[in-house]
């Protein structure tokens, strides 16, 4: 219906954008030539020269920087994956508790969510590291038999040794994201009409069974998208691990950049590695979506 006009506005905009990008790139080139740096990725294959506090793959300072970055990427992945599991357990528990029959439990959960969400994550991480984990006695203490042993040297669960830094980041991220997930879960539970709750309660079905069979299948389609964005937030927030000295992707990239002076290249690699992490989480959540939501909608 509408007469197609000549796209003046778009052409002007395109020219403006191209000019700005051109000026920026030109400035960059001038600066790189001025400092004699240029662009090069040679340094990736040079020996890294720094130690990593922890590594899942064998690593030594004489290994290449690229290898150090890969090892740190795996460290990030490890802490993110563990935190996602723990945060989900905490968040689902706290979210369900806010709709529980027990008023004490409801208030406790509300207190947790309200408190955690008003305090910066970085401050919480510092607390977990410097106060909670480094404050442990140097002699290992085992509160639950041989299941778990705690000391300021590290944490051992069922013979699995975790460093203090890893534990602090794990607990800090999980507690913080758990509060956000609790809100997501509560919102999802609230999206299920009240009549559904009353119906299963009046049928004498227990709270847990009713939650599992009646409420959750209806709440999950609302919960899952918000949940995956919380997981992505968790992954992004894991970069704060640098503050407690955990050798994650950002911390090692930062060290590599300081050592080589290759800021632009290092930053590009950091972005690409992070993109890979994001894609991984997105892919996982989409697979979960297919598994969980489809069967629920079919019935």
Partner 1 sequence: MTGSWTAYRKRLLQARRHPLQTVLSVVILALIAWVVWSTATWLVFGADWSVVSENLPLFAVGAYPENERWRPCLWLGLLCLMTATTLLQPLMSARWRISGLALSWCWLAMLPFGLLLLAGGAGLPTVSSRDWGGLTLTVLLTGFSGLLALPLGVLLALGRRSKLTLPRHLCRFYIDGMRAVPLIAVLFFGQLLLPLFLPVDIEINRVLRAVVAFALFAAAYVAEDVRGGLQAIPSTQLEAAAALGLGPWQIQQLVVLPQALRVAVPALTNQAIGLLQNTSLMAILGLVELLGISRSLLANPAYIGRHLETYIWLAGLYWLVCTAMALMARQLERQGPSASTSAIPS
Distances (CA, A) of 204 to 105, 106, 207, 212, 214: 22, 22, 9, 14, 13
249 contacts 69 by C-beta, under 8 angstroms: yes
Query: What is the nearest approach in angstroms of partner 1 to the Cβ of residue 70?
Result: 18
Give the SS3 label for residue 204: coil
User: Is residue 121 part of the contact set for partner 1 (CB under 8 A)?
Assistant: yes
Largest CA distance in the chain: 81
Binding segment for partner 1 (CB under 8 A), chosen from 10-18, 143-151, 156-164, 212-220, is 10-18
Burial of 230 (0-12, 13-18, 19+ CB in 10 A): buried
- b/e 199-214 (16+ beta carbons within 10 angstroms → b): ebeeeeeebeebbeeb
User: Is residue 205 part of the contact set for partner 1 (CB under 8 A)?
Assistant: no
Q: Which is nearer to partner 1, 59 or 129 (CB)?
A: 129
CA-nearest of 28, 24, 53 to 39 is 28
Burial of 220 (0-12, 13-18, 19+ CB in 10 A): middle
Binding mask 19-58 for partner 1 (x = CB under 8 A): -----x--xx-xxx-x------------------------
User: Is residue 264 part of the contact set for partner 1 (CB under 8 A)?
Assistant: yes
Q: Among residue numbers 89 through 118, which ones bind partner 1 (CB under 8 A)?
A: 101-105, 108, 115, 118
Count of residues of this chain found to bind partner 1 when the rule CB under 8 A is applied: 49
Query: What is the nearest approach in angstroms of partner 1 to the Cβ of residue 131?
Result: 5
Residue ranges that bind partner 1, judged by CB under 8 A? 7, 9-10, 13-14, 17, 24, 27-28, 30-32, 34, 101-105, 108, 115, 118-123, 126-127, 130-131, 135, 232, 236-237, 239-240, 242-243, 250, 254, 257, 263-264, 267, 270-271, 274-275, 278
């Amino acid at each position: 219906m509408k007469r197609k006009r000549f796209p003046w506005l778009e052409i002007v905009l395109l020219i403006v954008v191209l000019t700005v990008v051109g000026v920026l790139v030109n400035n960059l080139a001038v600066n790189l030539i001025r400092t004699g740096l240029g662009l090069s990725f040679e340094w990736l294959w040079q020996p890294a020269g720094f130690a990593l506090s922890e590594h899942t793959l064998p690593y030594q300072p004489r290994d290449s920087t690229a290898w150090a970055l890969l090892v740190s990427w795996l460290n990030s992945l490890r802490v993110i994956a563990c935190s996602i599991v723990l945060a989900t357990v905490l968040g689902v528990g706290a979210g369900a508790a806010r709709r529980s029959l027990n008023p004490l439990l409801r208030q406790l959960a509300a207190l947790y969510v309200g408190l955690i969400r008003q305090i910066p994550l970085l401050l919480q991480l510092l607390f977990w590291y410097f106060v909670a984990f480094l404050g442990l006695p140097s002699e290992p203490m085992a509160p639950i038999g041989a299941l778990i042993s705690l000391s300021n040297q590290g944490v051992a669960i069922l013979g699995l040794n975790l460093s203090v830094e890893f534990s602090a980041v794990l607990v800090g991220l999980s507690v913080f994201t758990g509060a956000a997930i609790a809100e997501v879960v509560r919102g999802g539970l609230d999206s299920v009409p009240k009549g559904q709750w009353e119906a299963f309660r009046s049928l004498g079905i227990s709270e847990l069974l009713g939650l599992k069979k009646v409420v959750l299948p209806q709440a999950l389609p609302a919960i899952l998208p918000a949940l995956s964005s919380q997981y992505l937030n968790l992954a992004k927030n894991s970069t704060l691990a640098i503050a407690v000295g955990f050798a994650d992707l950002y911390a090692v990239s930062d060290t590599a950049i300081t050592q080589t002076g290759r800021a632009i290249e290092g930053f590009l690699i950091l972005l690409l590695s992070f993109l890979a992490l994001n894609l991984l989480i997105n892919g996982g959540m989409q697979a979960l979506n297919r598994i969980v939501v489809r069967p629920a909608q079919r019935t």
